């Protein structure tokens, strides 16, 4: 291993990190180097992203400290029984790479995770050391996301939060039974215990900053987690239920969903095929419904089909509306914000504009059309001063009329 160059290590450890989906840098504290002090910024563009072969957008520098691991999680390419090339960075090497990429404007910060070497505490200390050197020795003001190890001493995880913008602990699988079967070295209780401790630290730090302006920040971009979808038999209902419980219990900023990718040299207990990527997308849409559209988890679950999974051909909001047609049409000139947010095809921004416009005048169908991407999708569910859908909302073939053509699955519409 000692003969590997930094570039060879980077090749192995950047590739090994691509399976982690939780790399967004949203919601952090504003920090920049304007005024000639420090280096880096959490704002602005010039960020280099790369697309992995499976189509996932990954940002540089997203790497593992090492892909050696003493654990044997079946779904993981880095598990101890996996026959892959191994590498290990020193903390200083990660620091040097981060600064070099940052200065070239390739990256907006660092996403650092690791396999477990020697012990959880030792690995966590190494991760913290990277962040410490960047912040304390180089006054690095860019974004740092540290993946933390639930089995590590809470005091070391606490240190991570003092340097990082965001910390995350992966729950890995939606059910405890799935975790026991596929990650035998991990414990659901330990993972949730660690998340609970991070939540307590977040609350305490926020409270302290209210009282003392200079109290240390703790992970200002909060904590997040990731769930693997499709590696076990958990349904979308199970996943939505778990996500909602995690949001409620641990003050999570985000739950990321990662469609299971078959890995080289896969364990025999794993499915041979990956789930369709659109399933991951439908779960993100359901997550938005709960976070921004006022849906209760039980309502998102109502949108699932008999097998407990969300339909793939239509989005969960449309699926819910088609099941509960008696709630429609809603009058765009009189309906509450909550009712308008239930209309398929109306996003949060469009609803805001409708509410603002209707203070000044009565809206017509054309006015709504100007605020949406597709009035065809909206029309069956609304009425305006010049439009009433008559029998359209009750048509038996409404789903097929509104479902996007297969080749046009709308990947980016809320």
Binding site for ligand SF4 (CB under 6 A): 69, 71, 73, 76, 78-79, 115-116, 183
Q: How far is the CB of 82 from ligand SF4 (least distance, A)?
A: 8
Q: How far is the CB of 25 from ligand SF4 (least distance, A)?
A: 22
Residue 269 has a CB neighbour count (10 Å cut-off) of: 11
Q: How far is the CB of 30 from ligand SF4 (least distance, A)?
A: 32
Of residues 263 and 319, the one with the C-beta less far from ligand SF4: 263
Whole-angstrom distance, CA of residue 100 vs CA of residue 97: 5
Of residues 13 and 255, the one with the C-beta less far from ligand SF4: 13
Of residues 147 and 379, the one with the C-beta less far from ligand SF4: 147
Q: How far is the CB of 79 from ligand SF4 (least distance, A)?
A: 4
Beta partners for residue 51, in sequence order: 57
Of residues 147 and 274, the one with the C-beta less far from ligand SF4: 147
Of residues 13 and 303, the one with the C-beta less far from ligand SF4: 13
Q: How far is the CB of 366 from ligand SF4 (least distance, A)?
A: 53
| C-beta separation of 116 from 149 below 8 A | yes
Of residues 66 and 384, the one with the C-beta less far from ligand SF4: 66
Q: How far is the CB of 178 from ligand SF4 (least distance, A)?
A: 13
Of residues 78 and 393, the one with the C-beta less far from ligand SF4: 78
Q: How far is the CB of 68 from ligand SF4 (least distance, A)?
A: 9
């Amino acid at each position: 291993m000692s003969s590997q160059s930094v570039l060879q290590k980077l090749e192995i450890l950047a590739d090994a990190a691509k399976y982690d989906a939780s790399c967004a840098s949203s919601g952090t504290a504003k920090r920049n180097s304007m005024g000639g002090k420090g280096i880096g910024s959490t704002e602005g563009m010039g960020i280099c992203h790369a697309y992995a072969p499976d189509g996932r957008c990954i940002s540089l520098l997203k790497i593992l400290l090492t892909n050696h691991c003493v654990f044997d999680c079946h779904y993981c390419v880095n598990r101890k029984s996996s026959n892959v090339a191994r590498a290990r960075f020193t903390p200083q090497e990660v620091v040097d790479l981060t600064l070099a990429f940052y200065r070239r404007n390739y990256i907006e910060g660092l996403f650092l995770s690791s396999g477990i070497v020697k012990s959880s505490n030792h690995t966590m200390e190494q991760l913290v050391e990277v962040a410490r050197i960047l912040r304390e020795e180089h006054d690095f003001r860019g974004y740092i996301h540290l993946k933390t190890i639930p089995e590590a001493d809470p005091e070391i995880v606490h240190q991570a939060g003092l340097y990082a913008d965001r910390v995350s602990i992966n729950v890995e699988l939606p059910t405890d039974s799935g975790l026991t079967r596929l990650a035998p070295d991990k414990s659901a209780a330990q993972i949730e215990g660690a998340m609970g401790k991070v939540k307590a630290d977040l609350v305490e730090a926020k409270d302290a900053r209210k009282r003392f302006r200079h109290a240390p920040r703790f992970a200002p971009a909060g904590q997040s987690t990731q769930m693997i979808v499709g590696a076990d038999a958990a349904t979308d209902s199970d996943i939505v239920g778990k996500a909602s419980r995690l949001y409620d219990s641990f003050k999570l900023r985000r739950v990321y969903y990662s469609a299971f990718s078959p890995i080289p040299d896969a364990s025999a207990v794993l499915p041979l095929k990956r789930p369709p990527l659109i399933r991951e997308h439908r779960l993100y849409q359901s997550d938005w419904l709960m976070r921004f559209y006022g849906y209760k988890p039980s309502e998102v679950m109502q949108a699932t089909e008999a097998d407990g999974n969300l339909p793939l051909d239509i989005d969960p909001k449309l699926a819910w509306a088609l099941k509960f047609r008696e709630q429609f049409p809603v009058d765009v000139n009189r309906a509450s914000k909550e009712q308008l947010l239930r209309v398929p095809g109306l996003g949060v921004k469009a609803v805001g504009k409708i509410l603002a416009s209707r203070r000044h005048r009565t809206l017509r169908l054309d006015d709504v059309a100007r605020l949406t991407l597709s009035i065809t999708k909206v029309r069956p569910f609304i009425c305006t001063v010049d439009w009433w859908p008559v029998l359209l909302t009750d048509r038996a073939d409404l789903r097929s009329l509104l479902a996007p053509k297969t080749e046009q699955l709308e990947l980016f519409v809320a």
